[in-house]
Structure 1
């Protein structure tokens, strides 16, 4: 009887020692795996947000596996424990369904990169610079210094405009002139300003053309290409130049016409 107890406690002690060794080794292996994965992600230039998210999820998952393995080594039934963890995980996933969709959308944006930090985008009437891309939200700072927080679900499921995606951008302007003006003279003066402007690109070539003849006006279309960083400066300078040409050439502006009809009626 005594020998059986000794063997029993000896086996239990050995199992406990093996479980402790398994726990220490497993914990160390998890850290090594995460460290290697982190280095691989950094070499692949994966966004830091994705790296932290993936490492955190793997850290929790691998450590749970280590703990379950150690518990099984101690002779404790793990079937019920695994079932409880599975049920709890399903319940948490169901409760955080919207958040998980947002996280998936954030990962999609960070991987596909339809825009990056510093880009100018427009969505839902807001135009501003991307300040930060998080897993759930993207923060945009408008030009009047308003912070707009946009859920990543909206960015993935709807259309938006990225003004910074290409290196160059076209300044598009429309000017209404009276038909009595010297149109070729106006075009020549404006084209000279454009060709001398340091921000106006030679290729693609600038264009000034008649867009439409109306009853009391001529619509002029002006297209000039510029680098993204100089877009707004060029746009502003061209409007100033057009105003100056208007004064120098005494350009007539089409007068607005209001039709008033008076209907006589017999009042008895």
Structure 2
């Protein structure tokens, strides 16, 4: 068809005018750009199929969008979010982005994907007690897998508190969000029952009447303003 249009072009009335030729050039450029974008998305779609980055039904995060893969077409990948929104992402953007697949671990290596959450507790609470409460919370959540043991890491010794990170496996990756919510609720229940407040204490320095610590020149300038 395109070859026929090329051969017929000189016989089209007005084809020798500058306006007609300019319009034809513009149409050609737009067609070339459009076909290039389509080709890029098709090639990217084929690459996604052969790289096995994800399958339909997998829970993924692509370009900040989290949800279940509803459709993996040649041109776009469609993701259904937890709010039942359908997000279409061009395959060229997918192939250029980092893809987090929450379902891969269960399908490929037969292990549950893990979730983690961090809380900060003051130094006045014994760290062994914090570990025990976090592990008890994980064990009480139905959505937490018993295939691997949950564990707690102390990730930072801050000025006023310690950062504790709890990591636990998830039974069903499709319920990752719900399981995390249940885990956070269980942590609140465990700490409340033990009468341990989940607070990050802070301290403030209050001037007690001592002279200013500003250098003399700076103090004089401040006094003139």
Match of 1:237 among 171, 178, 182: 182
Alignment of 1:1-268 (within 5 A): 84=3, 94=32, 96-167=35-106, 168-227=112-171, 228-252=173-197, 253-257=199-203, 265-267=222-224
Instruction: Give yes or no for contact 1:172–1:224 (8 Å, CA) kept in 2.
Output: yes
1:232 Cα shift?
Answer: 3.0
* C-alpha distance in structure 2 between counterparts of 1:233 and 1:143, whole Å: 10
* C-alpha distance in structure 2 between counterparts of 1:239 and 1:188, whole Å: 15
**Superposition RMSD on alpha carbons, in Å?**
3.1
Instruction: Give yes or no for contact 1:129–1:140 (8 Å, CA) kept in 2.
Output: yes
Question: Kindly tell me: are residues 214 and 112 of structure 1, through their superposed partners in 2, closer, same or farther at Cα, counting changes over 3 Å?
Answer: closer
Structure 1 residues without counterparts, runs of 5 or longer: 1-80
Question: Kindly tell me: are residues 234 and 138 of structure 1, through their superposed partners in 2, closer, same or farther at Cα, counting changes over 3 Å?
Answer: closer
Match of 2:24 in 1: none
* C-alpha distance in structure 2 between counterparts of 1:94 and 1:240, whole Å: 55
Whose helix proportion is higher, 1 or 2? 1
1:125 Cα shift?
Answer: 1.8
* C-alpha distance in structure 1 between counterparts of 2:120 and 2:75, whole Å: 46
Question: Kindly tell me: are residues 132 and 229 of structure 1, through their superposed partners in 2, closer, same or farther at Cα, counting changes over 3 Å?
Answer: closer
* C-alpha distance in structure 2 between counterparts of 1:158 and 1:231, whole Å: 22
* C-alpha distance in structure 2 between counterparts of 1:232 and 1:208, whole Å: 20
Q: TM-score with structure 1 length normalisation?
A: 0.58
* Bigger mean CA deviation after superposition, 213-222 or 231-240: 231-240
Q: Which has the larger radius of gyration?
A: 1
Structure 2 residues without counterparts, runs of 5 or longer: 8-27, 107-111
Instruction: Give yes or no for contact 1:186–1:245 (8 Å, CA) kept in 2.
Output: no
* C-alpha distance in structure 2 between counterparts of 1:138 and 1:258, whole Å: 51
1:61-90 Cα shifts (integer Å, max 9, x gaps): xxxxxxxxxxxxxxxxxxxx9xx47x89xx
Q: TM-score with structure 2 length normalisation?
A: 0.68
